[in-house]
Amino acid sequence: MKNYKINKKQIEEIYNDPKMLMWEHCNCIWFLKDKDLTDEAFKISHEINCYIPGNSQGYWDVIDMRLYKDHRDKLLKYYSHNN
């Protein structure tokens, strides 16, 4: 396994990415609060990060689409008007 070193600037770029921050804001009702959905989001992220750039909108769209496809009922509990 190859070790990668990243510098402080790279870390800041990762955690200050506008698309990531927007995704986190839009999903703050469940992200890091619902263990199953959060684990699934991280799993999807891990699976796609080798072929979709993490700073692209497509990356976040794929995470949203797969979460919705596989966990629609659970997500609707958070986003429906009947909760």
pLDDT digits (tens, 9 = 90+) for 56-65: 999 999 999 9
Mean pLDDT score, 75-80: 89
Q: Where are the domains of the chain?
A: 53-83
pLDDT of 83 strictly over 70? no
pLDDT digits (tens, 9 = 90+) for 3-55: 667 788 877 777 788 999 999 999 999 999 999 999 999 999 999 989 999 88
Q: Which residue has the tokens 């070790």?
A: 3
Sign of CA dihedral 21, 19, 13, 1: positive
- Supply the pLDDT for residue 3: 65
Question: What is the pTM for the complete model shown?
Answer: 0.79
10 burial type by CB count under 10 A (0-12 exposed, 13-18 middle, 19+ buried): exposed
